[in-house]
Structures are given as C-alpha cells and as structure tokens.
Amino acid sequence: MHEMAVTEDILRIVTEHAGQGGASEVTDIYLVIGELASFVDDSIQFYFDLLAPGTVAEGATLHFQRVQTRFRCRICGHEFEPAERDWLCPECHALGGEVIAGKEFYVESIEVR
C-alpha cells in the first residue's frame, strides 16, 4: 500500500530535478532499491502509471536496480552476501554480521531531454 506515497515522492524529486535543468521531458528514471527496503517494483510501477500522466515524467521508463543484502563479518571483517538460510561467514564461519548493503532507497538519476 505504501508504494503510492513512495511514487508521489519519486515524482516530486524527478520534477524538481528536471525543472532545475530546464528539461521538458523525463524519459527514464533510475531507482536503487535494497532488498531490505520494503518496496515492490510492480507496485511502484502501478502507481507511477496512474500518477505520472500530466507531469514532466509522463511516459518515462522506470529502471529498478535491486541491491542484495551484504554483511560485514564482525569477527574477521569479510564482506559477503548471506544466503537464505545460511548466514555463516565463508571465511571464519561466524554467524551474521553488520548490514552494509540492502537498505538503499533512492532516485539515482534521470534521463531528460
């Protein structure tokens, strides 16, 4: 459900940046979303199709770059992507780690003309 608010936020950011550059049309929007950020691509696309018409981003293509969760081992410092049911560090076999990637959620760039 919250993807509607998120999509409104995307449009706000995109409109601001397009306006600053004097662009008349936004053709592509590049989003970066971490695995742990609770947002669904399809749902953002759904609300985008509803909300974008009449804005500078009407007809723009959404690109979703998903970022996998990464741990940094607290014992040996090794960085790794945890598997679904295996959080052991491949180097030292300690379990878990500090989450260093996977929570990203931002508009990375836009293409305008």
Partner 1 sequence: MSETNLSPSNRVPVVERLLTANEEVAADNRVQFHQRQIKVGNIMASPGAGKTTLLLATIAAMPGRKIGVIEGDVASQVDAEMIATTGTPVVQINTGGACHLDAPMIRNAAKALPLEELELILVENVGNLICPVSFDLGQDFNVGLLSVPEGHDKPYKYPGIFEAVDLVVVTKADLLPYLDFEIDTFRTLVHGLNPDVPIFVVSAKTGEGMEDWVAWLETRLGI
Find the shortest distance in angstroms from Cβ 31 to partner 1.
8
Provide, rounded to whole angstroms, the least separation between the CB of residue 53 and partner 1.
18
Distance CA 97, CA 76 (A): 10
Site residues (CB under 8 A) for partner 1? Answer: 1-2, 5-6, 9-10, 13-14, 17-18, 21, 23-25, 27-28, 36-39, 69, 74, 84-85, 87, 95-97, 99, 103, 105-113
The least CB distance from residue 37 to partner 1, in Å, is 6
Residue position matching structure tokens 């679904």: 84
For partner 1, give the closer residue by CB, 13 or 51. Answer: 13
CB of 51 to partner 1, least distance (A): 14
For 27-57, b/e burial (b = at least 16 CB within 10 A) is eebebbbbeeeeeeeeebeebbeebbeebbb
Cα dihedral angle (87, 88, 94, 95), rounded to 10 degrees?
20
- Beta strands 105-112 and 26-34 are antiparallel
